[in-house]
Amino acid sequence: MTDHNGSPIGEVILWVENGWLSGIEYAWYTDERPLALPQPSRIELK
């Protein structure tokens, strides 16, 4: 995930088991915990 300037601010990790989503991990690199999940447009797939 990036902020409005393109700097990395966190990541969303998707866990898949047997072809099904089994978990979501949301990590952030900022000092303050985010209040909500990021908008899809703020997530880059790599």
- Does 20 map to a domain? yes
CA distance between the termini of the chain:
11
CA distance 8 to 28: 9
- Does 31 map to a domain? yes
Flag whether the pTM goes above 0.75: no
pLDDT at 7: 87
Question: Which tens digit of pLDDT belongs to each residue from 4-45?
Answer: 898 888 999 999 999 999 999 999 999 988 888 888 888 888
pLDDT at 13: 92
**Domain carrying residue 31:** 10-42
User: For the chain, how many structural domains are there in total?
Assistant: 1
pLDDT at 21: 96
On whether the CB atoms of residues 29 and 38 are closer than 8 A, the answer is: no
